[in-house]
Amino acid sequence: MAELIRSVEDEVPIFYGRFDLFDGSGLGYEAEPETAAGALLAEPDRIALGQVGIKSQAWARTAHVRMEAWDAEPPAPDEPWAEAGQVLYLSPGGNVQLCGLGVGPSGQRLLLGPPFFAYGLRAYAGPVRTQPADYDERVTEAIEEAWLLRFWPVADAAGPALREESEAGGAALARMREVFPLAPGSAAPWSKQWPALHPRPGPELPTGVTVWSSSFVHLERVPSRKAAGRFTVPQETLDSARRLEETLGDLRIDMLGNLPANIDFWAQSQLEEYATQLRVSMRIGKELNPHDAPTLRLKASSVRTVLIGPDPGSSGRAWTWAKDEDAYADVLSVDRQVIARDRIRQNTLFTGIVTILRNENDFVEVRAATEPEAARVISVERLRG
């Protein structure tokens, strides 16, 4: 029986009677989804490579969208939902986001499962909220319409892409289509092999923003004529520190790396967008590690991924130095190798295959790759010699 793994809700503006769903990897944006499958716009044969257009049913101003990831084909929902279209969605990154035409995404994302998978996508249209028009109370116009988008894994589409020797790019991406049509009797991927298709045990509390105090905020600017031998803080610096704490709060505690350069000069809207990115990054990181396997923080340049990356969900080979021969054995455990020993500094260079959970500020958090995740990496390494 199909099980709901996770869900998110988002709002997106509707322009010219449509809005779009994009792959979180940024790949597939060059697709031209113009073939209608009900309310869904895809490519011929109802295949969508990284992008799906969604036609408004009521030409409302805003779409309130619930996106769900299931571990198998889900049952039809109860009323008031009405089926509005179905396509096969090829996801290079394993996560999706919504976007209005000419408007940036909200930052909310849904983790579907492993990258380079083919997913079924079925759309359902829901209630429409209306109100009298501003220009004429006798005219009723649609303000908001509801949508339900359900995804489930259909096939592992990485095989064709892995045959490309080049890393991420058009050729590898386009070859994902070769997985269709599926061979007769082929079964969907076994979800137990992929942590990204596991629900996180127990209810997950939302990531909040707890304002943690800093003595820096309580400093006051001292007029220069009274500041002989005293420490002074410019008012602009104090204001920036307050805004950072009020906006980011406890997100800074678990953030990877340091704050971006020049963040003190960011507008409030930029800070709020960055806070949203951190919340979503932390949530997806936990969803990619549902069983709380040991993790390790590394510079993003220390991990070489295959096909795409270093994005959350992608796997690759990591390298790091350590003084202890048994260092990081619980994370760098898959195909663990000693590459070099520095006798002078008494350091050892280790390598192992990992899966990326988060990527923030040029740092990544990784865990040991599972067998099918590692198989992708090893296949490409063999191709490249």
Residue 207: per-residue pLDDT:
46
Instruction: Looking at the chain, list the stretches that DSSP marks H as alpha helix, in order from N- to C-terminal side.
Output: 158-162, 170-174, 235-248, 251-254, 268-287, 371-383
Range 98-119 burial, b when 16+ CB lie within 10 A, else e = bbbeeeebbbbbbbbbbbbbbb
Q: Is 384 exposed, middle or buried (0-12, 13-18, 19+ CB in 10 A)?
A: exposed
Q: Is the dihedral of CA 305, 306, 312, 313 positive or negative?
A: negative
Closest CA to 294 of 250, 339, 327, 321: 327
The helix (H) or strand (E) run that includes residue 20 is strand 18-23
Residue 99: per-residue pLDDT:
92
Residue 112: per-residue pLDDT:
97
Task: Please tell me the distance from the alpha carbon of residue 278 to that of residue 107, in angstroms, as a whole number.
Answer: 10
Average confidence (pLDDT) per 10 residues, the chain, 385 residues: 94 93 84 83 90 91 95 93 95 94 87 95 92 78 91 91 59 79 76 91 53 43 54 57 87 90 89 94 96 96 89 96 91 94 88 96 96 92 75
Task: Please tell me the distance from the alpha carbon of residue 158 to that of residue 36, in angstroms, as a whole number.
Answer: 26
The β-bridge partners of 122 are 86, 150
Residue 239: per-residue pLDDT:
72
- Return the structure tokens found at 119: 């997913």
Contact 177, 95 (CB under 8 A): no
The helix (H) or strand (E) run that includes residue 268 is helix 268-287
- Return the structure tokens found at 318: 């990591």
> Quick check: helix, strand or coil at residue 13?
strand
Task: Please tell me the distance from the alpha carbon of residue 290 to that of residue 285, in angstroms, as a whole number.
Answer: 9
Q: Is the dihedral of CA 100, 101, 105, 106 positive or negative?
A: negative
Question: In the 8-state DSSP scheme, what is residue 179?
Answer: G
Phi then psi dihedrals of residue 126, to 5 deg: -125, -155
Q: Is 94 exposed, middle or buried (0-12, 13-18, 19+ CB in 10 A)?
A: buried
Phi then psi dihedrals of residue 231, to 5 deg: -80, 130
Give the count of alpha carbons within 13 A of 251, CB side only.
25
Residue 150: per-residue pLDDT:
98
Residue 202: per-residue pLDDT:
66
262 Ramachandran zone, left/alpha/beta (phi>0; psi -120 to 50): left
Contact 248, 209 (CB under 8 A): yes
- Return the structure tokens found at 227: 């500041």
Torsion of CA 199, 6, 124, 58, to 10 degrees: 180
